[in-house]
């Protein structure tokens, strides 16, 4: 039975959502390894430079439906990465500068060719820059007597290519991503695998081009994977989370665009940004909130060690009753009463000291902690 929300939508609206989910899943799968390899900006370079490959093949075939367009795009994507790496290996410029040099040149050539020789063809600059998934259900093909959106017919096989590639080469991708040297030593040919990954990214990008445009392609490739990276250290979980976040952002972006009466691709990219912001803030280990709490906890732990050292140094002295009193901490340690109470409560809980009224006394464990802090064996 169809969920109530979907039951209220028309067929074209449902098709837009399905196309968005398929596109987002395919982009997220490719994007995981771009993020892990620190090649996030390369996705932007590829998504723009493949325009040149599309245009070049179109001039040869004069057919926008030709499957060779994808081949041309993949070849241009590989060429882009190869040129970036070629410039980087000179050691005269860094990788980010190489990206900034290569993709504007290739993209500009593509734009010039479109403007000069293909002005009356659907392959226009506006579609490349922003895309419009709203019109995707209008371009249809018949498959076994069933009329389906062309974007869906194109993207489902591309999604399957991503799934098969990651499944078949999971071990090789994992090893070459985290330790390319070891992968090469074991004979896994990480360089070849790297360019195959680039080709898959290029195929995914060009498949998503006509439906959503390059801006959303970059957002869907990088942002969900970056958000998921903050949430887990396991590659399998990272992949699943990336796909889930991307799909959720696609659906959420559609309904946000519908409510705000705005561009769908822009709304989806914005929701991706919101998802990343939430992950950045609330991720259990790497989130900003977790870091603040961890620093606060570490401050209290360090202060607790400092307190044990203070008590040890004054233990047995005539002034011990004064120096080892709670009321003295604010004056001697320059702690606020609130922070002093938090530190004392922590070390009492850890069993480092015992508190009797205002008097603080070290336990055996507390003396060991103090000796360790002072570097004594």
Where does CATH 1.10.3470 sit in the chain?
4-246
Rounded alpha-carbon distances, angstroms, from residue 250 to 220, 288, 370, 372: 9, 25, 55, 54
CA-based radius of gyration for the chain? 29
Residue 237 φ then ψ, to 5°: -70, -40
Residue 234 in contact with residue 286, Cβ under 8 Å?
no
For the stretch 143-169, pLDDT in tens is 888 888 888 888 999 999 999 999 999
* Distance (Å, whole) CA 312 – CA 360: 11
Residues in the chain: 377
Q: DSSP characters for 307-349?
A: HHHHHHHHTTSTTHHHHTBHHHHHHHH---HHHHHHHHHHHHH
The pTM (predicted TM-score) of the whole model is: 0.80
| Angstrom distance (rounded) from CA 189 to CA 176 | 8
Confidence of residue 334 (pLDDT cuts 50, 70, 90): confident
Q: Among 44-48, 99-103, 315-319, 373-377, where is mean pLDDT lowest?
A: 373-377
Among 75, 131, 123, smallest CA distance to 253 is for 131
> What pLDDT is stored for residue 125 in this prediction?
52
Which DSSP symbol is given to 8?
T
Each residue of 71-111: pLDDT tens digit?
888 888 888 888 888 888 888 888 778 888 888 888 888 88
The percentage of the chain sitting over the pLDDT mark of 90, rounded to a whole number, equals 26
Across 286-313, average pLDDT: 89
pLDDT band at 122 (very low <50, low <70, confident <90, very high): low
Interval 216-243: pLDDT, tens? 888 899 999 999 999 998 999 999 999 9
CATH of domain 290-373: 1.10.10.10
Least trusted range by pLDDT, from 18-22, 82-86, 188-192: 188-192
28 and 224 Cβ atoms separated by less than 8 Å? yes
What's the DSSP call for residue 353? E
> Is residue 81 a contact partner of residue 42, using CB atoms and an 8 Å limit?
yes
Helix, strand, coil share (%) of the chain residues, nearest 5 = 75, 5, 20
Select from 149, 118, 206 the least CA-distant residue to 16: 149
The answer to whether residue 20 scores a pLDDT higher than 80 is yes
Which stretch of 12-21, 132-141, 192-201, 247-256 has the lowest confidence by average pLDDT?
A: 132-141
Q: Kindly state the average pLDDT of the residues 11-38.
A: 91
Q: What whole-number distance in Å separates Cα of residue 170 and Cα of residue 236?
A: 9
Of 275, 294, 274, 276, nearest in space to 284 by CA: 294
User: Is the per-residue pLDDT at 120 higher than 60?
Assistant: no
Residue 214: exposure state from Cβ atoms within 10 A (0-12, 13-18, ≥19): buried
**Confidence bin at 116 (pLDDT 50/70/90):** confident
Predicted local distance difference test score (pLDDT) of residue 275:
95
More confident residue, 123 or 350: 350
**Residue 131 pLDDT level (bands cut at 50, 70, 90):** low
Q: Which of 111, 152, 135, 121 is nearest to 24 (CA)?
A: 152
Q: Residues spanned by CATH 1.10.10.10 within the chain? A: 290-373
Between the alpha carbon of residue 159 and those of residues 143, 153, 200, 205, the distances in Å are: 18, 11, 10, 11
Give which of 264, 131, 107 is closest to 208, Cα–Cα. Answer: 131
121: DSSP letter: S
State yes or no: pLDDT of 360 exceeds 80.
yes
Q: What percent of the chain has pLDDT over 70?
A: 93
Does the domain formed by 4-246 have CATH 1.10.3470?
Answer: yes
Q: What is the mean pLDDT of the chain?
A: 84
How, if at all, do strands 146-149 and 353-356 pair? Answer: unpaired
Residues whose CB is less than 8 angstroms from the CB of residue 236 and which lie 6 or more positions away in sequence, other chains included: none
CB atoms within 10 A of CB 260: 11
pLDDT given at position 6 = 58
């Amino acid at each position: 039975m169809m969920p109530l929300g979907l039951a209220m939508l028309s067929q074209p609206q449902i098709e837009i959502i399905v196309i968005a989910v398929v596109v987002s899943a395919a982009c997220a799968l490719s994007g995981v390894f771009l993020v892990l390899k620190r090649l996030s900006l390369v996705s932007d370079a590829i998504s723009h430079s493949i325009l040149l490959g599309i245009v070049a093949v179109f001039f040869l075939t004069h057919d926008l439906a030709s499957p060779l367009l994808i081949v041309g795009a993949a070849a241009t994507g590989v060429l882009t990465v190869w040129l970036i790496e070629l410039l980087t290996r000179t050691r005269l410029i860094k990788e980010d500068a190489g990206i900034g040099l290569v993709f504007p040149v290739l993209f500009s050539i593509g734009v010039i060719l479109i403007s000069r020789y293909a002005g009356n063809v659907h392959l226009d600059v506006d579609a490349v820059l922003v895309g419009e998934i709203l019109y995707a259900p209008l371009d249809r093909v018949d498959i076994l007597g069933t009329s389906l959106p062309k974007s869906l017919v194109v993207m489902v096989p591309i999604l399957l290519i991503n799934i098969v590639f990651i499944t078949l080469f999971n071990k090789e991708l994992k090893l070459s991503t985290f330790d390319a040297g070891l992968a090469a030593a074991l004979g896994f040919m990480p360089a070849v695998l790297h360019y195959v990954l680039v080709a898959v990214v290029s195929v995914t990008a060009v498949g998503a081009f006509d439906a959503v445009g390059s801006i959303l392609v970059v957002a869907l490739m990088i942002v969900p994977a970056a958000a998921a990276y903050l949430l887990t250290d396991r590659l399998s979980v990272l992949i699943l989370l990336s796909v889930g976040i991307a799909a959720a952002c696609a659906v959420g972006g559609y309904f946000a665009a519908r409510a705000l009466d705005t561009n769908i691709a822009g709304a989806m990219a914005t929701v991706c940004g919101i998802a990343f912001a939430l992950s950045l803030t609330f991720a259990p280990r790497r989130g900003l909130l977790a870091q603040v709490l961890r620093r606060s906890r570490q401050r209290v732990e360090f202060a607790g060690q400092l307190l044990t050292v203070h008590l040890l140094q004054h233990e047995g002295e005539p002034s011990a009753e004064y120096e080892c009193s709670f009321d003295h901490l604010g004056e001697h340690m320059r702690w606020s009463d609130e922070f002093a109470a938090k530190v004392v409560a922590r070390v009492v809980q850890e069993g480092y000291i015992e508190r009797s009224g205002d008097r603080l006394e070290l336990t055996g464990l507390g003396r060991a902690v103090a000796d360790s802090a002072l570097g004594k064996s």
